[in-house]
Amino acid sequence: MQLDEKIWFWLLLIIPVIIALFLVLQLWKRHAQKKFTNKRLLKKLSPNKSIFKPVLKLVVLCLAFACLAMAMVNPKIGTKLETIKRQGVDIVFAVDVSKSMLAEDIAPNRIEKSKQLVTQIINNLASDRIGIIAYAGKAFPQLPITTDYASAKMFLQNMNTDMLSSQGTAIDEAIQLAKTYYDDEEQTNRVLIIISDGEDHNNVASNVAEEASEEGIKIFTIGVGSTKGAPIPIKRNGIILNYKKDNSGETVITKLNEETLIDIAEEANGQYINGNNTSEVLEHIRDILNKMDKKEFEAKQFAEYKDQFQWFLGLGILFLCLDIFLLERKTAWLNRLNLFNENL
């Protein structure tokens, strides 16, 4: 399923407004009636007044607006599943989610900048397959190799520095995990892109990168942050309460460790890219991928999407008509059934 114009979901905010106005109106009516008559006399003066009908009209009106909002969004359903052949490169993104990535020496902070970079790279891909790994003190698979870019971006946006309890920057574990992502033994166009500040690394990362290179994996590293460094903020509800301190009570300054990232890239026949300038990163990655041989693979995807807005539009108009012709007084046959004990 696809949603064409998601912005029209904002129309659904009309529904709570309608409900609020209905409640205010009912309270005002009740207050006004109490000024001029009592409940018993009012029942004699208006014997056909229904308690249930106004609520029913409210429900029908809300359903009408909900259906019209969905019609504006225009959901589409894929009616045919096709197997197509595509050519591309298998790219695995390993994103550092350690606490040092909260440093704000690059706007808005290192972790958000990393997510922006990966999102922009994905937006510039055509038919390549992608996977995502999150790592700090440990590496954790986020998304296996797929052609579903929308899902990849959704998983990416949910990544944060609280998702892994163990701290550190275990780049070696991320590389080891990435090896399991490539499912074709004959494939030579394997790419691993590591986005990190290189802080708190261990010394075995370069050795693991060399091993990965022997398996045909090219590693490209993107450094986020500044070599000058910045403190790690401790926030609550977006407000900075303090900065992370070491055992001696000194504020920790985390710096971009480019040397580590350069060593890892060189060991795996790759390249280091400074991530401060997004357009330069995209240009580098585009050039790298264009020079690589493309692997042909099969992928299934829905085709021939058909609009479904007409069903919601029809239901919306139907509910509006029902609301117009639905009277607030009791209906004779419903009155005889007395379903809601209104005659008591």
Q: What pTM was computed for the model?
A: 0.64
pLDDT at 331: 55
Counted domains in the chain: 2
Q: Which of 137, 23, 47, 146 is nearest to 93 (CA)?
A: 146
Domain that holds residue 204: 82-299
pLDDT at 286: 92
pLDDT at 152: 92
**Are both 312 and 295 inside the same structural domain?**
no
Show pLDDT as tens, one digit a residue, over the chain (344 residues): 677 788 888 889 999 999 999 999 888 877 776 776 666 665 665 555 666 778 888 899 999 999 999 999 888 876 665 666 667 888 999 999 999 999 999 989 999 999 999 999 999 998 888 999 999 888 999 999 888 898 899 999 999 988 887 777 788 899 999 999 887 665 668 899 999 998 766 667 888 888 999 888 999 999 999 999 999 998 888 888 899 898 888 998 999 999 989 999 999 989 999 999 999 999 999 999 888 877 766 655 555 667 888 889 999 999 988 888 876 665 554 555 555 455 54
What CA–CA distance (Å, rounded) separates 193 from 146? 16
**Are both 317 and 230 inside the same structural domain?**
no
In a domain, 344, yes or no: no
**Are both 174 and 215 inside the same structural domain?**
yes
pLDDT at 187: 63
pLDDT at 49: 64
In a domain, 342, yes or no: no
CATH number reported for the structural domain that contains residue 277 in this entry:
3.40.50.410
**Are both 281 and 196 inside the same structural domain?**
yes
